[in-house]
Amino acid sequence: MERLVAAVLIGLVAIGVAAVIERRRRREPPTQPAWETPAQVDRADFPRPAAPWLVVVFSSATCSTCARVVEAAQAVASADVEVVDVAVAVWPELHRRYRIDAVPLTVIADGAGVVRADFIGPVAATDLSAAVARLRAGG
């Protein structure tokens, strides 16, 4: 009987030690998606490739936020700024080519197609307008 009690006590101590060690062990946080934006776009893929600036909103018709971002982007359209809504249902090949895996994604590219600013997710018209103005002023 003494041996049984000793075995049970040793087992309980071992379980307690294992629980303390497990609590102290540092756990890595779960991995998070890392969405990337294109660093450059081919201006020939979009209307008015000669426009000095291009604002592209990669979107989806099933995304309610996308509609608001497209509307905000349209507010910055001008003779020097071409704004294009690249909806995945209309231009799936561009979503694949530029590896777009999250929408809305907005990029501002210069005349050479180099992406100078980007926004993942919702963006206010004022923030988008400020970014375009800053870039056009050479900032």
132 confidence band (pLDDT: 50, 70, 90): very high
> Going by C-beta distance under 8 Å and a sequence separation of 6 or more, which residues neighbour residue 21?
none
Where does residue 131 rank: exposed (0-12), middle (13-18), buried (19+ CB within 10 A)? buried
Higher pLDDT, 18 or 121: 121
Domain parsing of the chain, residue ranges: 43-136
What is the number of residues in the chain? 139
pLDDT tens for each residue of 68-108: 999 999 999 999 999 999 999 999 999 999 999 999 999 99
The reported pTM is: 0.76
> Going by C-beta distance under 8 Å and a sequence separation of 6 or more, which residues neighbour residue 74?
83
For the domain 43-136, what is the CATH superfamily, name and number?
Answer: Glutaredoxin (3.40.30.10)
- Residue 66 has a pLDDT of 96
pLDDT tens for each residue of 23-61: 777 666 666 666 789 999 999 999 999 999 999 999 999
Give me the DSSP letters along 25-37.
S--PPPP------
